[in-house]
Amino acid sequence: MTDSSSELSEERAAVADACRRLGGEGLLIGTAGNVSVRVGERVAITATGAVLAALTPDQVTVVDLDGKVVAGALRPTSELDLHLGVYHRYGTGAVVHTHAPMATALSCVLDELPCIHYQLLSLGGTVRVAPYATFGTPELAESVLTALYGRSAALMANHGALTHAPTLDKAVEHALLLEWACGVYQRAAALGPPRVLDEQQQLAVIEAAVARDYGTTHPVTPVQEGTR
């Protein structure tokens, strides 16, 4: 049941690129973690047992939204149902799950990662820690889906982290940002109780970001005659 339109060759290559990048950044270690991207009714997702930092496109499997394999020779990740759950519930475009060191460390201790830095607002603010359940189970998927409500990221207790976004690049960026923020929290907490941005401060950041179109580059505006 494989036809060329189901192959998602570009997306499989992009998933492999994303894994190698996240591996290079130390977020994907060995075979732990999984990455997927959705195109319509199809999902390109990493195969179970593949070494992610050296992933090749043929180690990315294509499934439909019910999890049926439509292209690729390898069995998809054991967290397939978790990825599909995120697509079904939040209609997103890409999912990154890692056992990144800082995120995993905090997931063993915290009930949530508080909004200690304004950049966390691009993930929705405070990042919840989904209660622990065995990997690959519907209980874990439900726990994480609940924690993701209104957020692009969740920590998974004693397990790792998950981020999602409309595009694969953005989901990767979110994973890197979350790991960075977890590192900041860990260092800050070693010095004393970290201050947390209150609701007012968070709202002010969102207003400023909207007003300035923060996070994108802007060309220098030529100085107009008569305005200097």
**Residues in the site for Zn ion, rule: CB under 5 A?**
160
Is 79 catalytic? The answer is yes
Q: 83: which 2 tokens?
A: 């990825």
For 1, other C-beta atoms within 10 Å of its C-beta total: 8
Return the sign of the alpha-carbon dihedral for residues 213, 102, 192, 148: positive
Determine which one of 10, 25, 41, 79 is catalytic. Answer: 79
Nearest to 171, CA basis, from 144, 156, 185, 151? 151
How many Cβ atoms are within 10 Å of 23's Cβ, its own excluded?
A: 19
Within 10 Å of residue 59's Cβ, how many Cβ atoms?
21
Q: The tokens of 115 are what?
A: 């909004």
The residues annotated with a catalytic role in the active site are 79
